[in-house]
Structure 1
């Protein structure tokens, strides 16, 4: 494996992550603005919830089509189309009103995110050497955009309303479109599959549980606790909380990648997951602040690991399909999580809800170790 190939993979991975980091803030800002001021967008609160979930739902059913286009056309055309669509979505958030207009934008963004997210993962794992390091750095670059945009958007919202910030997001997405012209355009080999739905392996099950617990139950619970315990202007408090999530990703995801490179991605995935399960249990009992902070930190350490594990277990032509399938399972979990939170948290003690979620996360992580042993035995 040549140094030249590794350097090319490093550059492409950074560029793909930067593109997503420039296009993603419009989506994260909508999560901040829409639930708090739905009337400014011409919708009610129930419609706002549907709009915020629509981008995940369309990815669950549309990832296979995005994957086929991406694999056939390559990163440059797919990312240029996705970044251009992101710019149009941001312009629509700034100017359009009403449920159906915004729904169309959310569906377009969902498919665009699928393409950009797939590009970051494929580029980060293009070369086995240094894949863990590239994955960690990729997550940090992606988080930088939302981390900077959220506090700025919250402040601008106070003075100019919730829609002005999206004009700035049009410009950042157009910068992402320009960066996409420098990505490679060669097609990606992809294994054939006659089955539309693949049986999930242990890593996919872990991704589903992780999305359900950390992107669903935990984030909703964190928002509820913040509303109850924190005073001050709601939009500023919410903006800072969401920004802190991305700060932890920006600072700690590279460390997670370095730890995986030194001690193994699967091993560190299991270690961090078990630690997260303990912190999640504490969050659900009497350690709200400490437990919540630890969950955010450990989540950031875990983010770059799963794509590396998937790529290691599905080398060659199976990598693109496996990465896409794993992303779908995470989206399914992240979509189910808020629904469970809304149903369970009002009727059950939080310690029970988060303890059971923590147990499921720990069991799914341990199952990844068992499957790794089977894979190693087969390859030997």
Structure 2
């Protein structure tokens, strides 16, 4: 007797995966259209602080404010996102990004800009959470979708940074933010195409617990690659860099995102083939070696290697989180790891600014690099969380 049930199961899986792929692309496109307002501000605010009516010290606080509010507000954003779903949450976030970009174009002074940075911080938390949740909604192909999602997101900064630098060089730092306001409005339109269904949450709230191995790895990854490395590159390489302009600086920053476009999908495919945990451990150990070399004085060659390794690692954590938290706690677990990365990325520059003038760079980069290696190995243990 012919079995007619098996063939019908195969076609039913494909449409679900195709729908998940489409939603993942749309969430990534929304973030790609709204993120440039922030990345261009990182480029222009320190260089043109007086044009925005702030001191250089105030500019540093403004650039850190969006991370600080995410550390506090990610839990609230995750609960709102779980209750309301992607379409309303991302629509509100894209509107907030639009208002922020318009404010960067028109407002001056520290106290006028602080609310915009806090608003953007919460908006990014929602948009970033949506991209991860959409990419991990179907357990099949999560690493592949995460790699592609990171590549789509990076398109926005790659286009906006050189354009913003050129506009600032020609007409001052404000004009580009009018353009980015229009881009964020397009982000509102793409957010309206996302699904509106809520995400299930655990029946009881999770109790306070000590950080697990994935939390520690997320913290150290943000601390080293988004904190110590970025500040150290500027500090240690300042005597080696050629005299440049805002255009050169914009092009250099854009190359970091270009690396994500090219290499994040590669990292996703490696994870699909060899397993996300195995690839994470391997790349983290390689990063450890390169960070030690960076501290030892091989500035530019190791910096290039770090950019490559960072881009390859970006799509790896969400699939691991989704695999280990497959039930209603997935959204909260993704948010928790983002919080730990933000804490690391926020404390890294603070520590670097204090110790780089006083301590040998070899020690500054070797110790966190070894801790990153230990944390990565801990993530590979059975039942690690």
TM-score after normalising by structure 2: 0.95
Check whether the contact 2:167–2:173 (CA below 8 A) recurs between aligned residues. yes
SS of residue matched to 1:317: coil
CA distance in 1, matches of 2:236, 2:26: 37
Does the C-alpha gap of structure 1 residues 61 and 307 become closer, same or farther in structure 2, counting only changes over 3 Å? same
Does residue 43 (structure 1) correspond to residue 54 (structure 2)? The answer is yes
Hey, what does 2:383 align to over in structure 1? 374
Partner of 1:313: 324
User: What is residue 87 of structure 1 aligned with on the other side?
Assistant: 98
The answer to whether structure 1 residue 69 and structure 2 residue 71 are counterparts is no
Q: Deviations over 1:61-102 (max 9, x none)?
A: 111111111000000000000001100100000000011110
Residues paired across the two proteins, number: 374
Say which of 29, 37, 41 aligns to 1:26. 37
Match of 1:328 among 317, 325, 339: 339
From 107, 112, 120, the equivalent of 2:123 is 112
Corresponding position: 1:176 with 2:193: no
Distance 1:158 1:228 in 2: 24
1:290 equivalenced with 2:291 (yes/no): no
Deviation, 1:193, is: 4.6
Separation of aligned partners in 1, 2:237 and 2:71 = 30
- 1:221-236 superposed matches below 5 A: 221-236=232-247
Q: Mapping of 1:266-285 within 5 angstroms?
A: 266-285=277-296
Asked if the contact 2:237–2:299 (Cα under 8 Å) also holds between the matched residues in 1, the reply is: no
Secondary structure in structure 1 of the residue aligned to 2:316: helix
> In structure 2, what is the Cα distance between the partners aligned to 1:197 and 1:101?
36
Could you report, residue by residue, the CA deviation over 1:334-373 in whole angstroms, capped at 9, with x for unpaired residues?
0000001101111111111111121111111011012xx1
1:50 is displaced (CA, Å) by 0.7
* Whole-Å separation in 2 of the counterparts to 1:362 and 1:206: 9
2:237 and 2:158 mapped to 1: Cα distance? 18
Give the conservation status (yes or no) of the 8 Å contact 2:280–2:313.
Answer: yes
Q: 1:197 to 1:96 in 2, by over 3 A?
A: farther
Q: Which has the larger radius of gyration?
A: 2
Aligned residue for 1:163?
Answer: 174
C-alpha distance in 2, partners of 1:192/1:113?
Answer: 27
Instruction: From 23, 26, 43, give the equivalent of 1:12.
Output: 23
Match of 2:200 among 189, 194, 215: 189
Greater mean deviation of Cα atoms: 343-352 or 81-90: 343-352
Structure 2 residue 143 is matched with structure 1 residue 145? no
Query: What SS does structure 2 have at the residue aligned with 1:31?
Result: helix
Provide runs of 4+ in structure 1 moved above 3 Å.
192-198
Q: Which residue of 2 aligns with 1:209?
A: 220
Q: Contact 2:213–2:384 (CA<8 Å) still a contact in 1?
A: no
- Give the whole-Å Cα distance in 1 for the aligned partners of 2:122 and 2:192: 19
Aligned-residue Cα RMSD (Å) equals: 1.3
Work out whether 1:257 is the aligned partner of 2:268.
yes
2:134 to 98, 105, 123: 123
2:13 to 2, 27, 33: 2
Q: Which moved more, 1:277-286 or 1:15-24?
A: 277-286
Aligned to 1:338: 349
What SS is found at the alignment partner of 1:374? Answer: coil
Matches within 5 A, 1:95-106: 95-106=106-117
C-alpha separation between the residues in 2 aligned to 1:263 and 1:195? Answer: 32
SS in 2 for 1:228: coil
Flag structure 1 segments of 5+ consecutive residues without an equivalent. none
Q: Do structure 1's residue 363 and structure 2's residue 374 form an aligned pair? A: yes
- Cα deviation digits, residues 220-258 of structure 1 (max 9, x gap): 111224432112333223212211110111100000000
Cα deviation, 1:132-155, whole Å, max 9, x if unaligned, reads 100000000011110111111111
SS at match of 2:308: helix
TM-score (ref. length: structure 1): 0.96
Structure 2 Cα separation of the partners of residues 44 and 80 of structure 1: 33
Alpha-carbon distance change, 108 to 241 in structure 1, aligned in 2, over 3 angstroms: same
Q: Name the CA distance, whole Å, in 2 between partners of 1:47 and 1:364.
A: 35
What SS does structure 1 have at the residue aligned with 2:328? helix
